[in-house]
Amino acid sequence: MDKKYFRYDYDVIDFFEDDPNLDFTSRRYEGITEVLRRIPQDDYEKLLIKKDTFRWFIPPKDQFGLVQTFEITHDNKKLKSGHMRREQAQIIYLSPELEKLETDISIAVIAHELAHVFFEHEETYQEKEAWELVHKWGFEKELKKYKALRDKQEKDKKVNHGNIKKRKKPKISQGRRRQTQLLCDRYHIEL
């Protein structure tokens, strides 16, 4: 199946104006451009409206460390869970590891992350909905390659896991256990 393009490279520049976090020479940037060119027009327009709600972070592949400041993209808001979300910046991080992989895999990852922005996901458990949108957008070939890679990684992990000696869990003092529970309660984390 041929790729269907809805717009030219220069049409997607609105997503990148004055963004200092982009490495325009990277394979990841090429992937972003490819995804934005292929997303159907109605969904592209919805994403374009949301472009100020997130920032790209595409560090150079040779960047070992970095302190980066991002402007706030979300104000205080009450979440569906009832908790308050503090002011924060939503960042789409694209790992330098993507430079080592096929472009199709980068495209699948980028489309997936943009699907989270599209749906305004605030939690990480909404993966299925995001992947379904990637499929709907027409990234079937890239999605298939991504899933094959993830399946291979899982298989390799299981094979390697059998070769690792199991360690005993360290004993945790009652005081440390209580301190951990208090922190979990404070940040609404379940153990």
Q: What is the pLDDT of residues 85-110, one digit of tens each?
A: 666 677 888 888 898 999 999 999 99
Asked if residue 130 has pLDDT above 50, the reply is yes
What angle (nearest 5°) sits at the alpha carbon of residue 68, between those of residues 64 and 73? 140
Domain positions in the chain are: 9-165
Asked if residue 17 has pLDDT above 70, the reply is no
Rounded distance, CA 169 to CA 174, Å? 15
In this prediction the pTM is 0.70
Rounded distance, CA 173 to CA 180, Å? 11
Tokens for 5, please give them.
């393009």
Rounded distance, CA 99 to CA 109, Å? 12
pLDDT, one tens digit per residue, over 134-149 is: 999 999 999 999 999 9
Bigger pLDDT: 32 or 71? 32
Q: Are 114 and 35 in contact (CB under 8 A)?
A: yes
What per-residue confidence (pLDDT) applies to 148?
A: 94
What per-residue confidence (pLDDT) applies to 1?
A: 41
